[in-house]
Amino acid sequence: MTVHSPGRINLIGEHVDYSGGLVMPASIDKAIRFEVTEHPGRELALTALDLSENHTLSLPVTGRTGTRWVDYLAGIVDQFQQLGHEVPGLKIEFGGDIPQGAGMSSSAALEGGMAFVLNELTGAGLTRPELAQLCNRSSNEFLEIPSGIMDQFASLNGSAAGPIQLDCGTLEFQSVNAELAGYTWLLVNSMITHELSAGEYHTRVAECREALSVLQEEYPALRQLSEATQVQLQVVMRRMPENVSRRARYVVAENERVLEMALALSRGDVRRAGQLLNETHAGLRDEYEVSCTEVDFLQRHALEHFPDAVAGARIMGGGFGGCTINLLRDDRIEEVKQYLRHVYRKKYGITPEFYPVNIGPGTHLV
């Protein structure tokens, strides 16, 4: 059995999934491919082709192994076990072309692909949204990473037809047309992954929970931070520590921006779409504080040097490095790339990588 499991990009709706907010991700053409065959005995013979590493995982899974890539897979096995399914002995080889640490969710592709494989082989019959929820539980419980559901959901439910607008509170989603005449979406990889990201991610999740609990004292009906309005936030803001209120302001504004982006895209309004990206970047940089100087540099230089070609740019994904996503005129791509390569190398001695956003199908059997 061969399974294709893609990475994802996100147009807008960053750091709101774990607050039940709206996001606009897409599955992309970069993916992990799993080759799965029968294997004797109660074990999984695993090979990570890109790392040239092997690991034999005994079944049933009883806990973490301490090797990250193995644990992403083991966590999925653990979830199927918890649902009462017996995972058979298997030989699993996987590898792919999703850049690591670039904010394109290679780990969600790993989880989603494994979940898809086990769903097929155990006959569990889970739907794609259910598989995404299973992957999310695995991240939260087995790996103890408090991430939201966006990445796994986008990888499993994405479509080559375009991005989806997903409500992370209800898991309702619809497809979105992100094509803007004469413009294209470009990723610029800062090639930076700051160690900070894991700890700070936990902190942001905790800060959002704190903001919600303060809001709930006044508005007990609120279930998620993203449901709060600006007005409600204003009322209780003083009861929050300053950092917490700043995070909450960002989340509420970002949720509104996703709706505005949907409108701008449907109208073909490039200017507004670009402004929204820039506002998200400013929010992630100043209020949510998950950017970094290298990524800010790439974002700022794209905008300042090409005011007539780059409509907008922002940091994408979990933060503290990774890629910017840029909306720019398609006849100026080469020029923008050349300039950014030059100034970024000069400033940081690092050569950035560029990837066109090619939206591709969600997880599937090959």
Q: Which residues bind ligand GLA (CB under 6 A)?
A: 14-15, 17-18, 105, 147-148, 150-151, 317-318
Question: Could you say which of 17, 71, 151, 167 is catalytic?
Answer: 151
Whether 186 contacts 333, CB under 8 Å: yes
- Give 36 or 96: the residue with its C-beta nearer to ligand GLA: 96
Least distance CB 139 / ligand GLA (angstroms) = 7
DSSP 179: -
Q: Is 151 a residue of the active site?
A: yes
Rounded to 5°, the CA angle 258-259-264 comes to 95
Q: Please identify, using beta-carbon distances, which residue of 288 and 306 lies nearer to ligand GLA.
A: 288
- As measured in angstroms, the least distance from the Cβ of 330 to ligand GLA is 26
State the nearest-atom distance from the C-beta of 342 to ligand GLA, in Å: 29
Q: Using H for helix, E for strand and C for coil, what is the string for 107-128?
A: HHHHHHHHHHHHHHHHCCCCCH
Cβ atoms of 299 and 281 within 8 Å: the answer is: yes
> For residues 338 and 102, what is the distance between their CA atoms, to the nearest angstrom?
20
Strand partners, 58: 43
Distances (CA, A) of 84 to 79, 120, 262, 308: 9, 15, 41, 58
Nearer to ligand GLA, 119 or 152 (CB): 152
When the beta carbons of 132 and 236 are compared against ligand GLA, the nearer one is: 132
Find the shortest distance in angstroms from Cβ 274 to ligand GLA.
20
The distance of closest approach from Cβ of residue 140 to ligand GLA in the complex, given in angstroms and rounded to an integer, is 10
CA geometry: angle 225, 230, 231, nearest 5 deg = 115
Tokens of 198: 């894991």
Which of residues 76 and 87 has its CB atom nearest to ligand GLA in the complex? 76
Distance CA 71, CA 82 (A): 16
Query: CA 354, CA 337: separation in Å to the nearest integer?
Result: 7
Which runs of consecutive H residues, i.e. helices, occur in the chain? 68-82, 106-122, 128-137, 150-157, 197-218, 230-236, 242-267, 270-282, 293-305, 333-348
Q: How far is the CB of 267 from ligand GLA (least distance, A)?
A: 25
For ligand GLA, give the closer residue by CB, 87 or 226. Answer: 226
SS3 at position 284: helix
Q: Which residue in the block uniquely carries the two structure tokens 């940089």?
A: 285
Whole-number minimum distance, CB 151 to ligand GLA, in Å?
5
Give the residue numbers annotated as catalytic, written as ranges: 151
